[in-house]
Amino acid sequence: LKAKGLELGVYYNPLWATRSAVTNPSVTVIGRPDVKVADIINPGDYFDGGGLLQWVDATRDGAEEYVKGYVAYFRQLGAVFLRIDFLAWYEVGFDQSGGTVGVAHGRDSYLQALGWMREAAGDMQLSLVMPNLFDHGSGERQYGDLVRIDNDASFGGWFHLSNSRQTW
Q: Where are the beta strands (DSSP E) in the chain?
A: 8-11, 16-18, 28-29, 32-36, 41-46, 53-56, 79-84, 94-95, 99-100, 125-129, 146-148
Per annotation, catalytic residue among 85, 95, 135, 150: 85
- Could you confirm whether 34 is annotated as catalytic? no
| Element at 158 (helix H, strand E) | helix 158-161
- Could you confirm whether 61 is annotated as catalytic? no
Distance CA 58, CA 62 (A): 9
Residue 81: which of 5, 9, 13, 7 has the closest Cα?
9
Per annotation, catalytic residue among 39, 45, 95, 145: 145
Active site residues: 85, 145
